[in-house]
Amino acid sequence: MKPSVLIVGGGAMGVASAYWLTKMGRSVVILDRGDVPNSAASSGDHVRAFQLTHGKDAFYTDLAAKALPLWLSLNEEAGEKLLHQNGMLELAVKDGGFEDQSYRILKEMNIRAERMDKPEIRRHHPMVNVRALRFALFHHDGGYIWAMRTVAVLSHLAQKKGAQIKLHTEAADVLTDKDGVRGVRDKHGKVWQAENYLFAAGPWSGALLKRWRLPLKVTRQEQMHLMPPTNRGRYRPEHFPVFAARSAGIYGFPIHIHGFMKVSTYVMGPPGFPGADGATKVNPRFERKCRAFLKKFIPDLAEFTEMEGKVCCSATTPDGDFIMDRLPDAPNGFVAAGFSTTGMKFAPLVGKTMAELIVGGRSEINLHRFRIHRFRGR
Ligand SMILES: Cc1cc2nc3c(=O)[nH]c(=O)nc-3n(C[C@H](O)[C@H](O)[C@H](O)COP(=O)(O)OP(=O)(O)OC[C@H]3O[C@@H](n4cnc5c(N)ncnc54)[C@H](O)[C@@H]3O)c2cc1C
């Protein structure tokens, strides 16, 4: 018998959708070209940041606030902290910028946040160089997500409810007819059929869904794992939050694994594709950028000697909004893609939304910014 839903892609969005679909009593098969979790995927790193700040864009703050209770109940169901809330500290170099705009929105939404002045920052985080700052915004609900662990847990919970995962099974072609999607042909020629299809192939989505011409830009996003050269204990998550400086385009994490912290960038990297030549190597320029950032804001850390680079690819739409929609001319085909470098924190909400859309044709959250028709005429 055909499964109710075939999901292509076992990254965060695919497995979160499988989790919710199986909760709703649907039978699910997931195809993934690699392993689940997969370190080559966008979800393929140890940690991702959870923050509720989006400058003046209240829409995404509201989405993150809606995702939060789903994370907390997932923590409970999993019996472990997939979302670790040790707070998020945003370092502001001027008044009236991203941090002030975020602070205003957080306050309007009654989300606990503090605008810290320099003496207060010094008191709580003496390692931060307050001379480089105007103020800092701290919000308590922020923190970090164990990203690959989340994929592992969600896929396990979905499997417990009957989902099947077919590893190393790459979808090569989407077959359509006048009624919509008729099947998915894998690389070996096998055709997989279901009542409905969800395409959640991360950076590979554009290539797989080429007939729908989704305007996704795939970029290489560099990250640096580094060991604090001194005073390691003070960078443990009990003492040090996730941190960010929008002015520098950089954010980072406390020590989380084997004594390593992590620094990453908000700035879109050069075009690149997972698996392409040199795709996993960090450019020395990025290391220099990280050191310059740390020298300015957290000088203790700038002289790190132990480090490891990692590159993940991300897919971004021209307006930066995600794609969560039914495929045009294919009423039984759905897509969840374009989650850029901010999507992981929404994963349980994306999964719930896609499951609602597939099962009931509508979702609790407003999808107007995620529709495909916004690209029409481009
Ligand atoms: C460097 C970096 C830093 C980030 N930092 C943050 C952060 O701090 N906070 C945050 O909230 N978000 C962050 N993000 C964003 C977040 O990680 C991604 O938005 C999210 O992981 C996307 O998940 P996905 O399931 O859409 O894609 P992926 O995780 O890429 O999953 C896609 C899956 O599809 C499979 N697949 C692809 N093609 C096929 C095919 N043809 N057949 C079968 N299987 C296929 C792949 O193997 C993969 O497993 C970051 C992203 C990057 C790249």
3-state secondary structure 82-142: CEECCCEEEEECCCCCHHHHHHHHHHHCCCCEEEECHHHHHHHCCCCCHHHCCEEEEECCC
- Tokens of residue 29, six digits: 């098969």
Pocket of ligand 1 (CB under 6 A): 8-14, 31-34, 38, 41-43, 48-49, 170-171, 200-204, 208, 221, 223, 264, 312, 314, 339-345
Q: What SS3 state is found at 30?
A: strand
53-96 tens-digit pLDDT: 999 999 999 999 999 999 999 999 999 999 999 999 999 999 99
Element (H, E) at 32: none
182/194 Cα distance (integer angstroms)? 8
Q: Where are the beta strands (DSSP E) in the chain?
A: 5-8, 28-31, 47-50, 83-84, 88-92, 113-116, 135-139, 143-146, 164-166, 171-177, 180-186, 191-192, 196-199, 217-226, 242-245, 250-257, 260-265, 307-316, 323-327, 330-337
CA dihedral 308, 313, 319, 324 (to 10 degrees): -120
Nearest atom within ligand 1 for CA of residue 13 = 25
- What's residue 162's pLDDT? 98
323/336 Cα distance (integer angstroms)? 6
| Locus of tokens 């042909």 | 185
- What's residue 281's pLDDT? 75
- Within its chain, how far is the Cα of 90 from the centroid? 19
pLDDT(280) > 70: no
Q: What angle is formed at CA 54 by the lines to CA 249 and CA 12, rounded to 5 degrees?
A: 85
Structural domains in the chain, CATH included, are 5-44+148-214+319-375 (3.50.50.60), 88-140 (no CATH), 217-316 (3.30.9.10)
Ligand 1 test: best mutation among 7, 29, 48, most atoms within 8 Å of CB?
Answer: 48
Q: How close is the Cα of 110 to the center of ligand 1, in Å?
A: 31
Query: What distance, in Å, lies between the first and last C-alpha atoms of the chain?
Result: 40
Give which of 78, 71, 82 is closest to 157, Cα–Cα. Answer: 78
- What's residue 275's pLDDT? 66
Cut 0.85: pTM above it: yes
pLDDT(276) > 70: no
- Tokens of residue 315, six digits: 């897919």
pLDDT(159) > 90: yes
Do the Cβ atoms of 42 and 15 come closer than 8 Å? no
